[in-house]
Structure 1
Amino acid sequence: MPHLQVSQIKALQIQMLAAMLWTNVLLAQPAGLRPGSLAPDFRLKSVTGETYSLYAQKGKKGFIVVFISTQCPVSNAYNARFIKLAELAKENMMEFIAINSNVTEPFEEVQLHAREKGFTFPVLKDENNRACNAFGASVTPEAFLLDANFKLIYRGRIDDNQREERVVSKDLEEAIAAYLAGRPPLMPVTTARGCTIKRAE
């Protein structure tokens, strides 16, 4: 077997290191939807009492799906920002959708919360956790940006601080701006931090 030159050995070492790093990146990605994958349809009960289907909204320029909570202090810290994001979505012919998947927060509580907070965008109850399981959502708030064909563009946090006055990086808004400009986001996946979604056992 011929001896490998030092340069060849170094090249092999670099390739092995790159492969290990790429594997770690893949393992670090959250479960569920990944950038470029198709979001599944869902049919959930809205706080208005109507059944809301994601795919029935075909024709919009894009979709912002955020998993929220009535009781989580982190999610509630974003209530005003949810309204602003819904306005931003409407201005750009997009749809902002909030989903509550917590089994500890009944439909009536979700209705009352939406009314008290002045939410005029669709607020849906995910009674059986099908939506949060399909999307791979784990905390509230956690955001998913979809294009007009329901493919995932971005998932993760809304921004980097639950205190709005301390926000430095507006990750979701930056992803929206990139999408509207025809560019992929610089960071298509970030880590959302908040309260764990309470699933049915």
Structure 2
Amino acid sequence: MPAAILFFFLLLGLKPVQQPRPLDQLVLRTLTGEPTRLGDFHSPARVIVFLSPECPLCQQYSRKLTQLAQRKDLSVIGVFPGRAYDRADYEQFKRKYSIDFTLLTDANRSLVRALGATTTPEAFLIDGQGQVLYRGAIDDWVTALGKTRPQARHHYLASAIDAFFAHQPILPVQVSPIGCLINDL
């Protein structure tokens, strides 16, 4: 903020409104508690997916997310929001479902708020400049809570990733996710 504007606010006794921090500057934690920023992941695109260790859909989608993480031009980052679970819960989830992508915690839910996330699993495709290109369901395998079809017909997240790297329009840009609500019980 320019000094003249700051002086004006101080003269009037007002506090300047803080601009939200860019996504790349938000501090999250590794499972060992080390601070990290999304900007530390240098790839043309990142997938952020909110997870919960007890959410059956997060468990079911872990293999599909691990397959996506095999792409060399993409960072897949699983984020556990809130404080409802501890490191042992996260480590057990990682081992049990053979997670082979980065897992972070968002105890203060700063990333949840920044992205407006509501559900686990909810996926976000973000480009290298921090712009959200797609958000929502991974695919349409789940039709409602407790209801699935034999196999997905539309692979929303994978299609968005393919379109991004092919420099094509991403359609749809948003699909309502189905899953467990993000909360701290």
TM range (shorter): 0.7 to 0.9
Of 26, 29, 47, the match for 1:45? 29
Q: For structure 1, list consecutive stretches of 5 or more residues without a partner in the other structure.
A: 1-37
- Tell me the secondary structure at the aligned position of residue 175 of structure 2: coil
Counterpart CA distance in 2 for 1:142 and 1:57 is 19
Residue in structure 2 matched with residue 61 of structure 1 by the alignment? 44
Residue in structure 1 matched with residue 96 of structure 2 by the alignment? 116
State the TM-score, normalizing by the size of structure 1.
0.73
Residue in structure 1 matched with residue 114 of structure 2 by the alignment? 134
Q: Map 1:72-151 to 2 at 5 A.
A: 72-87=55-70, 90-91=71-72, 93-151=73-131
Amino acid at match of 1:144: F
* Inter-CA distance 46–189: structure 2 relative to 1 (3 Å threshold): same
Give how far 1:40 is off.
Answer: 5.0
Cα offsets for 1:148-172 (capped at 9, x unmatched): 2111110010000145841100000
* Inter-CA distance 142–65: structure 2 relative to 1 (3 Å threshold): same
Counterpart CA distance in 1 for 2:83 and 2:149 is 28
User: How many residues are matched?
Assistant: 159
- Tell me the secondary structure at the aligned position of residue 100 of structure 1: strand
**Identity rate, percent:** 28
Counterpart CA distance in 1 for 2:181 and 2:119 is 4
State the TM-score, normalizing by the size of structure 2.
0.79
Amino acid at match of 1:152: V
Give how far 1:48 is off.
Answer: 4.2
Give how far 1:186 is off.
Answer: 1.5
Give how far 1:49 is off.
Answer: 4.0
Amino acid at match of 1:142: E
- Tell me the secondary structure at the aligned position of residue 78 of structure 1: helix
**Structure 1: which 4+ aligned runs deviate by more than 6 Å?**
none
CA contact (8 A) 1:67 1:142 kept: yes
* Residue 161 of structure 2 is aligned to residue 176 of structure 1: yes
Q: Higher relative contact order by CA 8 Å / sep ≥ 6: 1 or 2? A: 1
The structure that is helix-richer by fraction is 1
Q: Which has the larger radius of gyration?
A: 1
Counterpart CA distance in 1 for 2:94 and 2:149 is 20
Q: For structure 2, list consecutive stretches of 5 or more residues without a partner in the other structure.
A: 1-21, 143-147
The structure that is strand-richer by fraction is 2
Amino acid at match of 2:171: L
Give how far 1:111 is off.
Answer: 2.0
